[in-house]
């Protein structure tokens, strides 16, 4: 089984888990990541600031990114100043 780590980044904050989680396959790791992300999504979206980004990554044993899920809040100026 392969070992993976979770990392969450939001603004200036970035933190990765110290303990690895083992999964039998990349597909199982992806399924767990989407489950964990969905549990966080409500509280994250309620606190997300305009023009900011939150993301969760799944890292392999070498701490290289395997998967990334991003939530981006963009403000679009439809009426620019003259």
Q: How confident is the model at residue 82 (pLDDT cuts 50, 70, 90)?
A: low
Mean pLDDT, rounded, of the chain: 88
Q: pTM here?
A: 0.77
Q: Are 18 and 66 in contact (CB under 8 A)?
A: no
Domain residue extents for the chain: 2-73
Tell me which H or E stretch contains 55. Answer: strand 52-59
pLDDT of residue 77: 79
**What would the pLDDT profile of 4-35 be if each residue is shown by its tens digit?**
999 988 877 778 888 999 999 999 999 999 99
């Amino acid at each position: 089984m392969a070992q993976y780590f979770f990392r969450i980044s939001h603004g200036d904050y970035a933190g990765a888990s110290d303990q690895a989680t083992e999964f039998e396959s990349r597909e199982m790791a992806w399924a767990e990541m989407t489950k964990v992300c969905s549990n966080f999504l409500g509280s994250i979206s309620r606190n997300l600031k305009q023009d900011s980004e939150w993301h969760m990554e799944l890292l392999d044993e070498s701490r290289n990114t395997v998967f990334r899920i991003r939530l981006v809040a963009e403000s679009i100026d439809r009426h620019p100043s003259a």
